[in-house]
Structure 1
Amino acid sequence: MDRHDVLTPPAPSRPGALAAYRRLPAVAGWSYLVVSALARLPVSMVPIAVLTAVTATSGSIAAGGAAAAATAVGEALGAAGAGVLCDRHGQRRVLLLLVAAHLIALTGFVLALGGAAVPALLAAAFLAGATLPQVSPLSRVRWMRLSPADLRTAMAYEGVVDELSFVAGPASVGLIALAAGTSAPLLVAAGVTAVFATAFAAHRTHRVTGPRPAAPATAAVPAQRTRGRAPSVMRPVLGMLAMGAVFGGTQAALTASATDAGRPSDGSLVYAALAIGSTITALGMVLVPAHVSLRRRWFLSAVGLLAGALAMLAAAGTTLALVPATFLTGLFVGPVMVTVNTVTAETGGHRTGGAAMTLLTSGTVLGTALGSALAGGLADAAGTRWAFAVAAGAAAALIALAAGRLAAPAGHTGAR
């Protein structure tokens, strides 16, 4: 059966932001919106839960940080591999295998907390990250194939849900750990994965991501398209690497600033202002006129992001001043994230959509780790204020990436 016979999107409705978002449940169903939102929570829960559990059981912040880093590296590598497998074999089969593997990995990690040596803990943390079901990028792939006409609205919606999950996930870890112990968040994350990631894998929308037939080996045109598409995929991946550096650098710099003020826990609270600002503008991206090109959106959003990063640098040392500066930065995070994902969706191609989208996740995860390490090193070596220079430098890199042509496949002009 052809995928277009499985899920046929309704005819476009009248223009407007509310009407645009109303089309999403009409295309995929309300159950899909709920399941895909909850299924991505473990991605934001597991790394911080690993950090919390290892730090508490070992008494070493260094060990906890190393375990969190191992989780991040595992996630970055696992995400890219999962995307390739989903393109080849379809999402349902791969996701169900990942769910089973992740539950085994988390069980092994919890058991290792009972007294395993640090190398064993690091290996278990790596496997827990590598097997995390990457619902967020794979959900974007489904939208690419469900209804291309609604792609920009879907990317805006996905950006909002991602931001909310990265607020709710760490917060839930803290509350669960406080109420039931430091291992409990890992068990809750396992339960969420078992229920909602499985439901996401089995949801009827998976049928639009079935195995794609291999391209004819002798076809010259697909080869040309592949060569032309590579730069357009790599540019967003580098963009998400820079965005990850913004996240990691800002988190580390805010934590250092709050620690200097004698209130280390304030760092995460101030960082929430970034997520709030990002959610607001990501939601409003559907209001941007269609004639405003993706290249212009990327460039202007990156310029705003640089302004916000410089505002944080100027406000360093004063928590009260950092809140509005961080919120200002967040206002431009949402547009950059939505735009980069949209560029990938519109230029990455349907055959390799899973690989392209999960590569963005890998870039973000690695960028976050790199940004955090750089900002932490700068805070120790040159003072807290200079830790914010990492976010500013990453924003400048985003401007440089936007300055080049966002290449698109032949016949497509939306990404220029």
Structure 2
Amino acid sequence: MENSNAQDQVTVISRTGFAYFPIALMARLPFAMVVIGVLTLVVSARGSVELGGFASASVGLGVACCGPLLGAAADRFGQRPMLLLAGAVNAVLLGVLAWVAFSTLPMWAVFFSAFLVGASVPQISPMSRARLVGIISSQLPAARRSRSLSSTFAYESAADEVIFVFGPVTVGLLATAFGAWAPVIGAGVLTLIFVTAFALHPTGAKAQVEEGTVTYVAPVSQLWRPTLLLTVIGILAVGMFFGSMLTSLTAFMQDRGDAEQAGLIYGVMGVGSAIFAVGVAWLSPKFTLRARWLVFALLIFGGALFLQTAHDLPRMILALAVMGIGIGPLLVTLYSFGAHRTPAGRGATVMAMLGTGIMVGQSFTAAVAGVVAEHVSTQASLLLPLLAATIAVAAGVVNWFLTPAGPEPELG
């Protein structure tokens, strides 16, 4: 009985400590700065928006190729050694990229350097989610796991929203104050400090397998289950939305002579998204995950449709506000699906797959939106967020038929 009462007092914060959350928040800031920072760097150094977009896409390609492998390495060897190695390598490569961009080396060297940066990016968000899911599934009472999971993913998604808003703002401030090289170098410095702190936090050790124990790890083939792959497609659509929306909004504001205000206007969506993401924790369990996916994706789709009529700033702000209601809760829902559909012993791998989906979608659509805005029109680039929303809705419809009715099974 005493043991049961003690377990009832266990909370996520009691297991992580209060310092964990600000460390994890700052450690993910470089991740949010890299895509826009590389774009800014290459545009300034090589004088071409197109080349800058392709460099950003090279970062995304690197993440796509190696992000899930880093997650698998974390599952195999523990998060701490993987993060310490990746953080050190990534910080050095960011400095190399800054030098190569302003050198006389050909563009393929810039693209290759950008690819290596993406390949070595320490994916803090997936690692943090994997740690917290592990704590919830192994140390909290079964009756509290579902709500704790929802609350945790709500916080994590809100944190991502804040970082994805302040990442571009930080890039803009550093570039304005010191030059186009500063955001990339700044990301490297932040990586060394905060990724190292995140790796050395006690939860990094807890995420590893205790010596002498044998833990079942599901075969790699289980990562290719249709329901899990569908979740990755859904989160890829969210990344596509982020990248295309920020780039097309920048073009929209540039047409009005206020390109530097794009980050602030983008914040209208980001702030609303973070608020509604936190609110997901209070939704009724009767509002199932498969229903939430469809409802929130349709909200984004509706806002993206209205976006096509945004020929002035007030309409743009209204469209962003509507889409913000759906994007944060959809992220929470998709990560919840990812946690429930994770094969045994593959938590970091799955969270890395989802984090990679966001980064890849953001990188490639940012590049495509830049090319479309420059060579076709800003209005044409605004169709890309609508395309991303359409993919999210379509994936939600398929998920509806693949997911049994009722709530997802409990973790653990």
Which interval holds the TM-score relative to the shorter structure? Answer: 0.7 to 0.9
Letter of the 1:117 counterpart: P
Tell me the equivalent position of 1:172: 170
- 1:81 and 2:66 correspond: no
Q: Quick check: 1:126 aligned with 2:115?
A: yes
What residue in structure 2 maps to residue 181 of structure 1? 179
1:82-103 per-position Cα deviation (integer Å, ceiling 9, x unaligned): 1111111111111111012112
Q: Find the aligned partners of 2:214 and 2:57 in 1 and give their Cα distance.
A: 37
Whole-angstrom distance in 2 between the partners of 1:227 and 1:173: 39
Task: Give the partner amino acid of 1:151.
Answer: L
Distance 1:82 1:50 in 2: 22
Q: Offset at 1:123? A: 1.4
**One-letter code of the match for 1:208?**
K
Paired with 1:355 and 1:51, the residues of 2 have a C-alpha distance of 28
TM-score, with structure 2 as normaliser:
0.86
Q: SS at the partner of 1:132?
A: coil
Deviates more, 1:354-363 or 1:257-266: 257-266
| 2:230 maps to 1:235 | yes
Note if 1:48 corresponds to 2:43: no
CA contact (8 A) 1:313 1:386 kept: no
The residue that corresponds to 1:281 in the other structure is: 276
1:347 and 2:344 correspond: no
Partner residue, 2:140: none
Match of 2:8 in 1: 11
Alpha-carbon offset, residue 375 of structure 1: 4.2
Pairing 1:8-407 to 2, within 5 Å after superposition? 11=8, 23-115=11-103, 116-148=105-137, 149=145, 150-211=148-209, 213=214, 215=216, 227=222, 230-315=225-310, 317-376=311-370, 379=373, 383-403=377-397, 404=399, 405=401, 407=403
The residue that corresponds to 1:16 in the other structure is none
- The answer on whether the counterparts of 1:112 and 1:120 sit within 8 Å (CA) in structure 2 is yes
CA RMSD of aligned residues (A): 2.7
2:343 alignment partner, SS class = coil
Cα separation, partners in 2 of 1:165 and 1:291, compared to 1, 3 Å: same
Identify the range of structure 1 (231-240 vs 395-404) with the bigger mean alpha-carbon deviation. Answer: 395-404
Cα 1:213–1:334 change in 2 (3 A) is same
Stretch deviating more after TM superposition (49-58 or 289-298): 49-58
Cα distance change, pair 170–200 in 1 and its aligned pair in 2 (3 A): same
Comparing 49-58 with 263-272, greater Cα deviation is found at 263-272
Give the secondary-structure state (helix, strand or coil) at the position aligned to 2:320: helix
Q: Distance in 2 between matches of 1:227 and 1:138?
A: 20
Counterparts of 1:238 and 1:12, CA distance in 2: 38
> How many corresponding residue pairs?
390
Cα separation, 1, equivalents of 2:6 and 2:203: 12
Counterpart of 1:209 in structure 2: which amino acid? Answer: A
Aligned to 1:18: none
* AA of the residue aligned to 1:277: G
Q: What are the Cα deviations for residues 343-366 of structure 1, in whole angstroms up to 9, with x where unaligned?
A: 101221341111111111222222
SS, match of residue 413 in structure 1: coil
Deviation of 1:213 after TM superposition, in Å, equals: 4.7
CA distance in 2, matches of 1:123, 1:370: 16
Report deviation, 1:407. 4.4
- Aligned AA for 2:68? A
Secondary structure of 1:147's aligned partner: helix
**SS of the residue 1:95 aligns to:** helix
TM-score calculated relative to the size of structure 1: 0.85
Structure with greater contact order relative to length (CA < 8 Å, sep ≥ 6)? 2
Aligned equivalents of 1:389, 1:56: Cα separation in 2: 27
Q: What is the CA–CA distance in structure 2 between the aligned matches of 1:248 and 1:83, rounded to whole Å?
A: 23
Structure 2 residue runs of 5 or longer lacking an equivalent are: 138-144
Aligned equivalents of 2:31 and 2:6: distance in 1? Answer: 29
> Counterpart amino acid of 1:290?
P
| Identity in percent | 31
Tell me whether 387-396 or 95-104 shows the greater mean CA deviation.
387-396
Q: What amino acid sits opposite 1:126 in the alignment?
A: F
Residues 384 and 176 (structure 1 numbering): CA distance in 2 closer, same or farther, change over 3 Å? closer
1:80 CA drift (Å):
1.5
**Is contact 2:91-2:187 (8 Å) kept?**
no
Q: CA deviation at 1:285?
A: 1.1
Check conservation: 2:276, 2:328, Cα contact below 8 A. yes
User: Quick one: which amino acid aligns to residue 36 of structure 1?
Assistant: A
For 1:312 and 1:207, the matched residues in 2 are separated by 46
Given that 1:113 and 1:121 are in contact with CA atoms closer than 8 Å, whether structure 2 keeps it comes out as yes
1:4 alignment counterpart: none
Q: 1:265: Cα distance to partner?
A: 3.2
Moved more, 397-406 or 343-352: 397-406
Distance 2:127 2:362 in 1: 20
Deviates further, 377-386 or 246-255: 377-386
Between the aligned partners of 2:136 and 2:33, the Cα distance in structure 1 is 30
**Which 5+ residue runs of structure 1 have no aligned equivalent?**
1-7, 14-22, 217-221
C-alpha separation between the residues in 2 aligned to 1:120 and 1:181?
Answer: 21
- Return the letter of the residue paired with 1:372: A
